């Protein structure tokens, strides 16, 4: 009986020590271009709203409507980091697009990663937090009316 209790206690201790590792949140910088090539993102986003990341050059801004942010999560269980991050990036972009349409904006500029309100600006990468169960992307941008090219 004592031996069985010892084995059970050892197994419980081993399991308890491994739980925090499984809940780890890995911060990844992922390429925007790969995310836009995945999940049919280009056609799903269309071209009614233009997106400009970081300090990318834009056509003339006629008016700034507002600044807003979105934070999206997706189930990452059993998926690669790349697949989870690309999927949740598309969800965040669709949320920005919907907000722009609702506001009457034709572009979102100065888009930055904004996880836990910590901004990271890049023209080529976005920040994704990938855990054992969930993946998340948070974006922030300025909703504007741009002049036609």
CATH of the domain at 72: 3.30.110.70
User: What is the per-residue pLDDT across 39-61, written as a single tens digit (0 to 9) for each?
Assistant: 999 999 999 999 999 999 999 99
Give the model's confidence band at 149: pLDDT under 50 very low, under 70 low, under 90 confident, else very high. low
To which H or E segment does residue 72 belong? strand 61-75
Average pLDDT over residues 111-126: 98
* pLDDT surpasses 60 at 15: no
Q: List the structure tokens of 87.
A: 């999927």
Overall pTM surpassing 0.85 (yes/no): no
In a domain? residue 17: no
Number of domains comprising the chain: 1
Average pLDDT over residues 108-134: 97
Give the domain extent around 85.
Answer: 23-146
Average pLDDT over residues 83-93: 98
- Name residue 140's beta-bridge partners: 69, 112
* Lowest-pLDDT range of 2-6, 66-70, 109-113, 132-136: 2-6
To which H or E segment does residue 94 belong? helix 81-103
């Amino acid at each position: 009986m004592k031996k069985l209790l010892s084995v059970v206690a050892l197994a419980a201790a081993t399991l308890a020590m491994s739980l925090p590792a499984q809940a780890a949140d890995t911060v990844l910088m992922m390429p925007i271009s790969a995310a836009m090539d995945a999940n049919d993102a280009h056609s799903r986003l269309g071209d009614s709203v233009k997106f400009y990341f970081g300090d990318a050059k834009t056509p003339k801004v006629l008016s700034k409507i507002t600044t807003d942010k979105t934070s999206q999560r997706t189930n990452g269980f059993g998926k690669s980091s790349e697949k989870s991050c690309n999927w949740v990036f598309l969800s965040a972009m669709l949320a920005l697009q919907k907000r722009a349409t609702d506001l009457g904006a034709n572009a979102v500029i100065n888009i930055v990663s904004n996880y836990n309100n910590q901004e990271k600006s890049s023209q080529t990468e976005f920040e994704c937090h990938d855990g054992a169960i969930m993946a998340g992307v948070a974006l922030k941008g300025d909703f504007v009316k741009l002049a036609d090219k």
